[in-house]
């Protein structure tokens, strides 16, 4: 069973694939980075950072949060969306998430259910309250905009380690913090990106900034995380995420609030039937 593959095993499988295909590249680039005690390649180090980040962020169980999405166009006109987000950590597979829209008012009650998977396409359903209809939808749409925003579907979906290949570029400082600069390449199909460059906090293993490069390898967007807060003495969540599109001049800011963990959400709160129950 594909769902039976637990995360560490899947990560190791991914690592094996990388070493096989990128051995040549690895041999060239190892000398560019600060050499560790063992001759760790830039790919291995990039992957190790991703695995460590995921290890530190696992075990949270379930969470609820409120998301305010502020869309700004080139002229500075703003438009607002309000979404309640519920998440469930799934042992050995991608997370389950449920988004309930409160604003704009014409889509109030619309809900989006997603089961993310590391190695096969995500399962997604949409609930249309006017028709009381649950629709299974294709999850192939990765690069398209989420609710007319500058966030693509692939930017808001669960970030599993196996979704990318990695390469550690360098260590540096960002806003006075030590960071790893890691390049990652989408392993899933239909991504709008050739690569992403992520600035990962070296102490807390959380992203501070990500640059997105489009299919022509031009800089498309920059995502900046700010106002991180720690929950349950362990898990870091950013209160604010700003995505700036350098090519069209638009931006989208996500303001998160009311984060709660261990709220008692269960599998049953993340099925098709749950969508109809929501208000």
Contacts of 69 (CB under 8 A, 6+ apart): 80, 81, 82, 83, 147, 149, 252, 253, 254, 255
138 binds other proteins (CB under 8 A): yes
91 binds other proteins (CB under 8 A): no
Task: Look at phi and psi of residue 123 and say left if phi exceeds 0, alpha if psi is from -120 to 50, else beta.
Answer: beta
187 binds other proteins (CB under 8 A): no
- What x/- string results for residues 200 through 239 when contact with other proteins is judged by CB under 8 A? --------------xx------------------------
Task: Give the residues across from 87 on adjacent strands.
Answer: 63, 97
* Shorter beta-carbon distance to other proteins: residue 168 or 250: 250
Single out the residue of 142, 160, 157 nearest to residue 10, CA to CA.
Answer: 160
131 binds other proteins (CB under 8 A): yes
Helix (H) or strand (E) holding 9: helix 7-21
| Residues counted in the chain | 279
* Shorter beta-carbon distance to other proteins: residue 38 or 105: 105
Exposure class string for 13-26: b at 16+ Cβ within 10 A, else e: ebbeebeeebeeeb
Minimum gap (Å) between residue 189 Cβ and other proteins? 9
* Shorter beta-carbon distance to other proteins: residue 215 or 234: 215
Query: What distance in Å separates the CA atoms of residue 64 and residue 87, rounded to the nearest whole number?
Result: 6
Tell me which stretch binds other proteins (CB under 8 A): 19-27, 54-62, 121-129, 167-175.
121-129
Tell me which stretch binds other proteins (CB under 8 A): 20-28, 87-95, 104-112, 171-179.
104-112
Contact predicate 157/258, CB 8 Å: no
Query: What distance in Å separates the CA atoms of residue 237 and residue 145, rounded to the nearest whole number?
Result: 23
177 binds other proteins (CB under 8 A): no
Query: What distance in Å separates the CA atoms of residue 135 and residue 138, rounded to the nearest whole number?
Result: 10
* Shorter beta-carbon distance to other proteins: residue 142 or 165: 142
Cα dihedral angle (29, 34, 36, 39), rounded to 10 degrees? 20
Which tokens is 43 given?
């790919």
Taking CB under 8 A as the criterion, the residue among 12, 74, 108, 229 binding other proteins is 108
Tell me which stretch binds other proteins (CB under 8 A): 13-21, 23-31, 128-136, 176-184.
128-136
Minimum gap (Å) between residue 135 Cβ and other proteins? 8
Helix (H) or strand (E) holding 48: helix 42-56
Taking CB under 8 A as the criterion, the residue among 75, 105, 176, 203 binding other proteins is 105
Single out the residue of 88, 10, 145 nearest to residue 269, CA to CA.
Answer: 88
Taking CB under 8 A as the criterion, the residue among 91, 106, 233, 258 binding other proteins is 106
244 binds other proteins (CB under 8 A): no
Task: Give the residues across from 272 on adjacent strands.
Answer: none
Which tokens is 174 given?
């960002």
Minimum gap (Å) between residue 47 Cβ and other proteins? 28
* Shorter beta-carbon distance to other proteins: residue 40 or 109: 109
Q: In the complex, which residues of this chain contact other proteins (CB under 8 A)?
A: 71, 73, 79-80, 103-108, 121, 123, 125, 131-138, 140-145, 148, 190, 192, 214-215, 268, 271-273, 277, 279
């Amino acid at each position: 069973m594909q769902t039976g593959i637990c995360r560490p095993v899947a990560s190791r499988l991914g690592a094996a694939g990388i070493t096989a295909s990128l051995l040549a590249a690895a041999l060239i680039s190892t000398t560019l980075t600060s050499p560790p005690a063992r001759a760790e390649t830039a790919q291995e180090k990039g992957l190790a950072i991703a695995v460590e980040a995921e290890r530190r962020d696992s075990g949270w169980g379930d969470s609820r949060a409120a998301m305010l999405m502020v869309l700004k166009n080139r002229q500075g006109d703003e438009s607002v969306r309000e979404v309640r987000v519920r998440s469930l950590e799934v042992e050995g597979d991608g997370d389950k998430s449920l988004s309930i829209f409160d604003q704009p008012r014409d889509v109030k009650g619309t809900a989006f259910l997603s089961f993310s998977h590391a190695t096969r396409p995500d399962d997604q359903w949409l609930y249309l309250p006017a028709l009381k209809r649950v629709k299974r939808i294709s999850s192939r749409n990765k690069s398209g905009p989420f609710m007319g925003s500058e966030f693509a579907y692939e930017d808001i979906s669960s970030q599993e380690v196996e979704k990318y290949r990695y390469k550690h570029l360098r260590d540096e400082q960002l806003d006075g913090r030590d960071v790893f600069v890691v390049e990652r390449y989408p392993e899933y199909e239909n991504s709008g990106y050739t690569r992403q460059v992520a600035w990962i906090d070296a102490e807390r293993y959380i992203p501070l900034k990500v640059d997105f490069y489009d299919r022509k390898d031009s800089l498309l967007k920059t995502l900046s995380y700010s106002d991180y807060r720690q929950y349950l003495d362990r898990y870091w969540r950013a209160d604010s995420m700003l995505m700036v599109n350098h090519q069209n001049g638009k931006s989208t800011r996500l303001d998160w609030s009311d984060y709660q963990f261990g709220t008692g959400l269960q599998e049953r709160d993340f099925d098709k039937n749950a969508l109809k129950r929501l208000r």
